[in-house]
């Protein structure tokens, strides 16, 4: 008998509600036709929007749909707005077929733009598997022209908006790239699993590693798995 316990995501503590979606629409709506989450049932507005701001709790995808000759100017207007936000941590966008990142430092200055593979070197503990996760998103058909990861503690989830200004917020939320949003426990128990084997003694696993690890338990392989089997947790790995 084997027992495997994990989670689909973790949660970071939310201490501040962000008005970013409404502020974005208010600031850029005078120049562009902007649609947000609240407009998703307005087919005409969505169809004619030059910018769509699609957010979840702690991240957002921004899509630009205006004419090619205006695309660069539109992107620059959006970036200039986002770079002034203290609730934004990371901004991603594509330029000359490369994926760039800007970090908003929160003191009125920014770091970057810089290639994501260069930026995340040495930052693996702060942003676990960030490059792999971003590349998976970027190669998909849902990747926005600009992507935002919020600063830790900030959420755009309306449920966390305090009833009164100054009210304390203490809730959990997720979807950002920081470690608090990214790391989950993995517990594996079974007759061929090494006892008291902790993650400090081996590389941090990824969710895609679970399927090939289960295959190894049954002495098989997983032909379609993207991850790697955690071979080092097994007794015969000593």
Neighbours of 224 (CB within 10 A): 7
The answer to whether residue 154 is domain-embedded is: yes
Q: Does residue 1 lie in a domain region? A: no
pLDDT for residue 149: 94
Together in a domain, 41 and 127: yes
Residue 206 lies in a domain: yes
Asked whether residue 79 is domain-assigned, the answer is yes
Q: How far apart are CA 157 and CA 127, in angstroms?
A: 21
Please check whether residue 97 lies inside any domain of the structure: yes
pLDDT for residue 201? 54
Same domain, 89 and 196: no
DSSP summary character for residue 193: B
Pair 128, 215 in one domain: no
Q: What is the block-wise mean pLDDT of the chain (238 residues), using blocks of 10 residues?
A: 86 88 94 91 90 93 88 93 95 86 89 92 89 78 86 87 72 82 85 74 74 87 78 76
Q: Which of 177, 114, 155, 158 is nearest to 18 (CA)?
A: 155
Domain assignment present for 201: yes
Same domain, 67 and 34: yes
Q: Which residues contact 4 (CB under 8 A, 6 or more apart)?
A: 186, 187, 188, 189, 210, 214
Same domain? For 34 and 107 the reply is yes
Residues 155 and 108 in one domain: yes
Q: Are residues 193 and 122 in the same domain?
A: no
Helix/strand/coil for 58: coil
Do 225 and 199 lie in a common domain? yes
At residue 193, the pLDDT reads 85
Asked, for residue 179, whether it belongs to a domain, the answer is no
Question: What's the pLDDT at 33?
Answer: 93
> 20 lies in which domain range?
15-171
Same domain, 202 and 151: no
Name the token pair of 140: 């998909």
Residues comprising the chain, all counted: 238
Final residue before a domain boundary, out of 129, 148, 171: 171
Q: Indicate whether 35 and 99 sit together in one domain.
A: yes
In total, how many domains does the chain have?
Answer: 2
DSSP 124: T
Specify if 60 maps to a domain: yes
Which of 141, 169, 182 has the alpha carbon at shortest distance from 59?
182
What is the pLDDT at residue 14? 85
Residues 38, 97 within the same domain: yes
Among 145, 171, 197, the domain-final residue is 171
Say if residue 222 is in the same domain as residue 161. no
């Amino acid at each position: 008998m084997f027992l495997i316990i994990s989670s689909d995501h973790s949660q970071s503590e939310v201490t501040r509600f962000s008005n970013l979606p409404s502020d974005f629409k208010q600031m850029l709506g005078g120049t562009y036709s902007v649609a947000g989450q609240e407009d998703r049932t307005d087919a005409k507005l969505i169809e004619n929007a030059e910018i769509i701001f699609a957010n979840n709790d702690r991240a957002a995808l921004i899509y630009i749909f205006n004419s090619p000759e205006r695309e660069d100017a539109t992107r620059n207007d959006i970036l200039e707005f986002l770079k002034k936000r203290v609730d934004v941590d990371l901004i991603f966008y594509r330029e000359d077929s490369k994926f760039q990142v800007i970090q908003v430092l929160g003191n009125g200055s920014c770091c970057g733009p810089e290639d994501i593979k260069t930026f995340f070197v040495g930052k693996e503990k702060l942003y676990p598997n960030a490059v792999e996760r971003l590349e998976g998103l970027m190669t998909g058909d849902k990747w926005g022209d600009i992507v935002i990861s919020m600063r830790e503690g900030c959420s755009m989830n309306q449920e966390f908006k305090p009833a009164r200004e100054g009210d304390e917020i203490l809730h959990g939320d997720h979807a950002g790239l920081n470690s608090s949003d990214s790391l989950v426990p993995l517990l594996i128990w079974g007759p061929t699993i090494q006892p008291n084997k902790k993650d400090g003694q081996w590389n941090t696993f990824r969710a895609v590693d679970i399927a090939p690890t289960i295959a190894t338990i049954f002495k098989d392989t997983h032909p379609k798995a993207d991850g790697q089997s955690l071979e080092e947790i097994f007794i015969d790995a000593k």
